[in-house]
Amino acid sequence: MKKAYLGIDIGSISTKGVVIDANNKMLADSYVWTNGNPIGAVKEVLAELHKKMPKGYTVVNSGVTGSARKLVGTALGTRIVKNEITAHAMGTLSVVPDAKTILEIGGQDSKIILINNGVVSDYAMNTLCAAGTGSFLSSQAKRLDLQLEDFAALAMTSKNPAKIAARCTVFAESDLVHKAQIGYSKADIVAGLCRAVVLNYLNNLAKGKQIKAPIVFQGGVSKNAAVVREFEKELKNKVYVDPNGHLMGALGMAVLAQKAKTETPFDFNIANMEFETRGTECLHCANNCEIISVHREKKLVDSWGNKCSKGEQK
């Protein structure tokens, strides 16, 4: 039997899964839309990973990260549950061992991670504003009647990007309409949007941070060559984009599972089990705690949210 390790990253927009061997070589990967159903998305990821995995391997440990990590970690019985900063740093360092700066722009949030001697020294996250994220670019593409896949290619043809005020989504959309009305081409407008995303990121999230090379850019927006180009212009440095940059959180959790001192074998048949989450308000005291409980095959496996023993689920 050859050992393998599973990592899962459950985001608000997408859910990713990776299986690696003992040498951190990727054996299988999966990327699906979460669609507001993290348990369902994870089931889909597990089914795809199981199908792709080479024969002769057994998953002996697993790890989970992402916005729904507590929920999914509990449902799957995974002991290694970490935040996105730790997961992305571990995944990136397994690919670019000397990385010093990680730029990450996802569907609904963005983050910057600074690394010193292989250890996270500083970070910042933006989860409050959609401006400067993948969802912002996606919504603007729809306004311009463009497929998101064509967005970057069109932007790369521009020689005169329009100046778009992108500190706020509402202002950006208003500015976009104005630029179209005064005669800017579609190519110049989308190039301006890509530049605005970069300036928004650097002037807000990365403000005051010392960005040092090697610089790694990841998340769904890293697939946009025009955004990569603008980062390189502003930072006056090469920005490295790994082909698997969208999987770095999941890869990081697989690496952490591989490094763990103890192992917890993982059974892919868990994807066929029935899971249910229930939200209730405890009325036993003035706290009125919102309690979340997770049931597997109609049996309670865990719950959280109670601030006192009166809200414990049995």
If asked whether residues 140 and 256 sit together in one domain, one would say no
If asked whether residues 114 and 227 sit together in one domain, one would say yes
The pLDDT > 90 percentage for the chain reads: 41
Sheet containing 110-116: give its strands across: 119-126, 110-116, 101-105, 215-218, 239-240
Structure tokens of 283? 């009325």
Sheet containing 290-296: give its strands across: 275-281, 290-296, 299-304
- Predicted pLDDT of residue 96: 95
Cβ atoms of residues 191 and 226 within 8 Å: yes
The pLDDT > 70 percentage for the chain reads: 90
| In the predicted structure, residue 133 carries a pLDDT above the cut 70 | no
CA distance 103 to 91: 13
Assign 137 a pLDDT band (cuts: 50, 70, 90): confident
If asked whether residues 145 and 69 sit together in one domain, one would say no
Mean pLDDT, range 293-310, rounded to an integer: 72
The predicted-structure confidence for 100-110, as pLDDT tens digits, reads as follows 999 998 777 78
- Predicted pLDDT of residue 103: 95
pTM: 0.81
- Predicted pLDDT of residue 166: 63
- Predicted pLDDT of residue 132: 59
If asked whether residues 88 and 195 sit together in one domain, one would say no
Poorest-confidence range of 38-47, 150-159, 161-170, 211-220? 161-170
Poorest-confidence range of 13-22, 76-85, 91-100, 139-148? 139-148
CATH of the domain at 63: 3.30.420.40
| In the predicted structure, residue 172 carries a pLDDT above the cut 90 | no
Give the pairing of strands 57-66 and 299-304.
Answer: unpaired
If asked whether residues 110 and 164 sit together in one domain, one would say yes
| In the predicted structure, residue 20 carries a pLDDT above the cut 80 | yes
| In the predicted structure, residue 252 carries a pLDDT above the cut 90 | yes
Cβ atoms of residues 168 and 129 within 8 Å: yes
* DSSP-derived 3-state class of residue 28: strand
If asked whether residues 111 and 174 sit together in one domain, one would say yes
Angle between helices 148-155 and 225-235 (to 10 degrees): 40
Assign 30 a pLDDT band (cuts: 50, 70, 90): very high
Mean pLDDT, range 125-145, rounded to an integer: 70
The predicted-structure confidence for 180-232, as pLDDT tens digits, reads as follows 778 778 889 888 888 888 888 898 888 899 999 999 999 888 888 999 999 99
The count of domains in the chain is: 3
Regarding predicted confidence, which is higher, 200 or 274?
200
Domain of 127 in residue numbering reads as 98-241
CA distance 194 to 230: 7
If asked whether residues 112 and 126 sit together in one domain, one would say yes
- Predicted pLDDT of residue 301: 67
Q: What are phi and psi of 187, to 5 degrees?
A: -60, -45
If asked whether residues 178 and 46 sit together in one domain, one would say no
- Predicted pLDDT of residue 68: 79
Assign 3 a pLDDT band (cuts: 50, 70, 90): very high
Q: Per the omega criterion (within 30 degrees of 0), is the bond before 214 cis?
A: yes
Mean pLDDT, range 4-21, rounded to an integer: 92
If asked whether residues 231 and 288 sit together in one domain, one would say no
If asked whether residues 105 and 205 sit together in one domain, one would say yes
Give the pairing of strands 57-66 and 80-81.
Answer: parallel
If asked whether residues 58 and 140 sit together in one domain, one would say no
If asked whether residues 142 and 227 sit together in one domain, one would say yes
